[in-house]
Structure 1
Amino acid sequence: MKQFARIQQGASVIPILVSGTELLDLRSLIPDITPEAIASGVLNEFDVASLKPITGEVQYLAPIHGVRQVPATGFNYKKHIQELKVPTPTEPEVFLKSQYCLTGPFDPIRRGPNPDVKLDWEVELAIVIGREAQDIKAEDAVDYIFGYVCLNDVSDRATQVDAERQHHLVRAKSRPTYGPIGPYLTTGIDPMNVDLWTKVNGNYEQQGNTSDMIFPVYEMLAYFSRHMRMVPGDILATGTPPGVGMGKNRFLAVGDILECGISNLGAQRHEIIG
């Protein structure tokens, strides 16, 4: 397992390897963690001993810069289906979040100017594509994955469903700051046995495990590859476990503190602002 991240120190953006308590500078290998750096294969194998540690105060950024696509799915956890009382899907849902919604793991989330916003949380395991994927098989999917990040699929439920009960997922999930990712981009984990959680103001709202998925990670990636071309650095969000605000009719307000995390991928913390 390797944990990559991007940090800012002063005016410098620094790609790093997190090794225990040390932050190791990757700038001798790559200028930044980008789709191009992932595609190059440089991060697949390198001499850790040659990397220099970074000291001092740092700020964590989104762990990938320049993401091109954010495909996503919903209704992929059995217990989430139960809490929303909706039919179990027979195939994955396919939609996209705007890449411009992505933000860092500790940045504020802006609620937006609409007073009717119903701001909700959705912690999700997201696949980071490592090589071009189209029409691949589930048994080969692992070879197309570079790693995984924690993504909070922030959603405005007021604009997600219209008066005729039609769903509009792209518009509900694509405003700036509605896609925090990080802090770590982690490789070499079993994606089907990781814990996910969300807290609002210190209280647990979501607790789940990817073993509850209806469509497992490799099957999900193969399915998406049959409908779209994915390239290195793309992020595929795989759905959320139970405990979302929509299931409780309880939503985020200005001043709330939203936290979420996934095993080995780190934890996020955000203040909700107007």
Structure 2
Amino acid sequence: MKSWIRFRFALGRIGFGVLENHRVTEYEGDMFGDAVPSANVLSVDDVTLLNPCVPTKVVALWNNFRALSEKLGKAAPSHPLFLIKPSTSVIGPGEPIQRPQAYAGKIAYEGELAIVIGKRCRNVPVDEANDYIFGYTCINDVTAAELLNEDPNFAQWCRSKGFDTFSCIGPAIQRDFDWRNAHVVTRLDNVERQNYPLSDMIFSPAEQVSRISHDMTLLPGDVIAIGTSIGIGSIKDGSTVEVSIEGIGVLSNTLLSGA
């Protein structure tokens, strides 16, 4: 199965290309434009995987799964509920999640599917939205949970989720992905904590892209984290979170204590 990746190799040079059967074919041009294969073929063992795209923003949904909505006693939303995470929060597979220096509280993981936008997207009808989806990847939407309601006057979604390293994305982008038959599995130190079907989502990927594109312009490489389901939990310093989706891969990141 072909997967699109970004990687570092050869004295720190960064490239992108297609991973297939442990071999990487480097491409030239623009991943989201006129990308063409080069003559450079590498072993995956000779490269370091990076976050597979470089978004200008991460749009993160809340309350988009029926099971979690029912557990929380929340009504299904009539429009996607979301916040924006900055581009500086993005890291790739294997990179450490850094505890914020001034924060000693609970840090939570959320294993999710992520949509990667392939072309400029504004006011797109739902029946055309799939044409704007480049592919899908995994994301761990990390949260400094105790900051969310620290001030009773204002829920601090962006602050609690926007720290550097709090959007772990990867390992690859899969273009031919059947989300209807897939599950998200999250493991904390090799113990399964989440295992939920993507078919349980309230707004489909096409509906998310369409509706959000009427609220803001989505650009190539932007990411929509489609929300999570039951099983959210906290990460101790030194613990490793693995988010896996069959057909995409395994995203692994370890929480390090603040410097």
TM-score (normalizing by structure 1): 0.86
User: Which residue is 2:6 aligned to?
Assistant: 6
> Are residues 1:175 and 2:163 paired?
yes
**In 2, are the aligned partners of 1:61 and 1:104 still within 8 Å (CA)?**
yes
Partner Cα distance (1:142, 1:263) in 2: 21
Superposed CA offset, 1:72-125 (max 9, x none): 211101112233333332321021011100001111111222344211111111
In the alignment, does 2:196 pair up with 1:208? yes
SS in 2 for 1:176: coil
For 1:52-91, list aligned pairs within 5 A: 52-55=40-43, 56-65=45-54, 67-91=55-79
- Which of residues 89, 92, 101 in structure 2 aligns to 1:113? 101
- Asked if 1:273 is matched to 2:259, the reply is no
Residue 222 of structure 2 is aligned to residue 234 of structure 1: yes
Aligned equivalent of 1:134? 122
Q: Which moved more, 1:160-169 or 1:259-268?
A: 160-169
Alpha-carbon distance in 1 for matches of 2:14, 2:218: 26
**Contact 1:38/1:146 (<8 A) preserved:** no
Bigger Cα displacement from structure 2, 255-264 vs 149-158: 255-264
Secondary structure of the residue aligned to 2:181 is coil
CA distance in 1, matches of 2:157, 2:181: 27
Tell me whether 107-116 or 72-81 shows the greater mean CA deviation.
107-116
Post-superposition shift, 1:197?
1.1
Give the 3-state SS of the residue equivalent to 1:172 in structure 2.
helix
Q: Distance in 1 between matches of 2:15 and 2:165?
A: 22
Kept in 1, the 8 Å contact 2:16–2:31? The answer is no
Number of aligned positions between the proteins: 255
The percent identity for this pair of structures is: 27
* Kept in 1: contact 2:32–2:134 (CA 8 A): no
1:192/1:217 contact within 8 Å kept: no
**SS where residue 222 of structure 1 aligns?**
helix
Please provide the CA RMSD for this pair.
1.9
1:177-235 deviation per Cα after TM superposition (whole angstroms, max 9, x unaligned): 10011110111222333221111111011111210001111111111011111111111
Structure-2-length-normalised TM-score:
0.91
Q: Is the 8 A contact 1:183 1:266 kept in 2?
A: yes
Structure 1: which 5+ residue stretches go unaligned?
31-36, 246-250
Shift of 1:166: 4.5
What residue ranges of structure 2 are gaps of 5+ in the alignment?
none
What is the one-letter code of the residue matched to 1:24?
A: T
Give the secondary-structure state (helix, strand or coil) at the position aligned to 1:106: coil
Q: Hey, what's the Cα distance between the residues in 1 that align with 2:32 and 2:73?
A: 41
Residue deviations 1:219-261, cap 9 Å, x none?
Answer: 111110111111111111111121102xxxxx21111111112
Post-superposition Cα deviations, 1:20-45, rounded to whole Å, max 9, x if no partner, equal: 2222222xx23xxxxxx2442x24xx
User: Aligned equivalents of 1:200 and 1:97: distance in 2?
Assistant: 23
TM-aligned CA deviation for residue 141 of structure 1: 0.5
Q: Is the 8 A contact 1:111 1:117 kept in 2?
A: no
Q: How does 1:157-176 map to 2 (within 5 A)?
A: 157-164=145-152, 166-176=154-164
